[in-house]
């Protein structure tokens, strides 16, 4: 095993609801806290918030972690994500794609998305089943 130092990565932890300071925000904040010990971490979201107040409320150490406001429209995270080596999305019901080299989407509560699909989309998905899958998508599931 090599003693070479691990390069510092630019990491974004995205959550649309940082200002609520709830359970998902605690989880995302803890991810940021752990990663910030060896990497450059930013909390991304659509609203300005006081990172020190968030850390205090959630009992986290976010020293060295910055926050960055990005637009709220669909595609904003994709637009900003190319600046990062890793994007961790901890936002509930997010449909955001990213362009970072690596990404993790943490699902807190699995949700039914088929209600958002048109009848034609549902028919196509039903007919094709598992045949259609983007080769650019590498999906893995784990318990944690």
CATH class held by domain 10-110 = alpha beta
Q: What is the dihedral of CA 130, 134, 138, 140, to 10 degrees?
A: -30
Which residue stretches of 59-99 are H helix? 76-81
pLDDT digit string, tens, across residues 11-59: 999 999 999 999 999 999 999 999 999 999 999 999 999 999 999 999 9
| Enclosing H/E stretch for 54 | helix 51-58
Which parts of 75-131 are beta strand (E)?
86-89, 102-105
Tell whether the model's pLDDT for residue 3 goes beyond 60.
no
Sorted by where each begins, the domain ranges of the chain are 10-110
Tell whether the model's pLDDT for residue 136 goes beyond 70.
no
User: How many Å apart are CA 83 and CA 24, to the nearest integer?
Assistant: 24
pLDDT digit string, tens, across residues 90-120: 998 888 889 999 999 998 877 666 667 788 8
Tell me, what's the pLDDT at 109? Answer: 76
């Amino acid at each position: 095993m090599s003693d070479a130092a691990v390069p510092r990565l630019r990491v974004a932890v995205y959550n649309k609801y940082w200002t609520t300071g709830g359970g998902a925000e605690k989880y995302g904040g803890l991810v940021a806290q752990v990663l910030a010990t060896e990497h450059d971490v930013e909390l991304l979201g659509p609203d300005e918030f006081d990172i020190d107040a968030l850390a205090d409320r959630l009992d986290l150490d976010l020293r060295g972690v910055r926050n960055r406001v990005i637009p709220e429209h669909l595609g904003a995270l994709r637009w900003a994500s190319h600046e990062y080596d890793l994007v961790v999305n901890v936002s509930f019901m997010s449909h955001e794609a990213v362009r970072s080299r690596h990404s993790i989407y943490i699902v807190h509560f699995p949700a039914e998305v088929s209600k958002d699909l048109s009848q034609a989309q549902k028919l196509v998905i039903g007919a094709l089943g598992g045949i259609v899958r983007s080769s650019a998508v590498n999906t893995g599931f784990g318990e944690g």
